[in-house]
Amino acid sequence: MTSKVTYNGGLRTSCEHLRSGDTFITDAPIDNNGKGQAFSPTDTVATGLASCMLTMMGIKANSLDVDLTNAMAEVTKHMAADPRRISKIEVKLSLPKNVSDKNRKILEHTANTCPVHYSLHPDIEKVISYNWVF
């Protein structure tokens, strides 16, 4: 088993990663009857895409002897109705500019083929931008 999720009432869950004991909570978003005081479940999905992309890039960067420390992603999630679902995820990555063009292509390909990217429904539009700026 990977995790345990407990419904706390009030449209809030507590999520525990069983191996590490790390926890986080989710709340329903304001636009869906919630308080929006924490990540919503769909926020965690959209954020998981960016986290997976950066993690996979980090793994590949290690083998290329490239340091991606302080790389970051800004994530915007868009929702649709009928049925309510994630319709689009925008990920804007900020990455170190001292990476060669060859390694940039390798790292971008690695990010675009991360497990979460492949796991998301193909109808979810993914808008990814790579900004080699710092």
In this prediction, residue 63 carries a pLDDT of 98
Encoded tokens for 97: 């500019």
pLDDT band with cut points at 50, 70 and 90 for residue 91: very high
Looking at every residue in the chain, the average pLDDT score rounds to 98
Percent share of the chain, pLDDT over 70:
100
- 117 Cβ contact list (under 8 Å, min separation 6): 49, 52, 53, 111, 126
Find out whether 120 and 91 touch, Cβ atoms under 8 Å. no
pLDDT band with cut points at 50, 70 and 90 for residue 85: very high
Work out whether strand 125-132 and strand 85-95 pair parallel, antiparallel, or are unpaired.
parallel
Cα 11 to chain center, whole Å?
Answer: 22
Q: pTM (2 decimals)? A: 0.96
The DSSP letter of residue 35 is: -
- Is CATH 3.30.300.20 the classification given to domain 41-132? yes
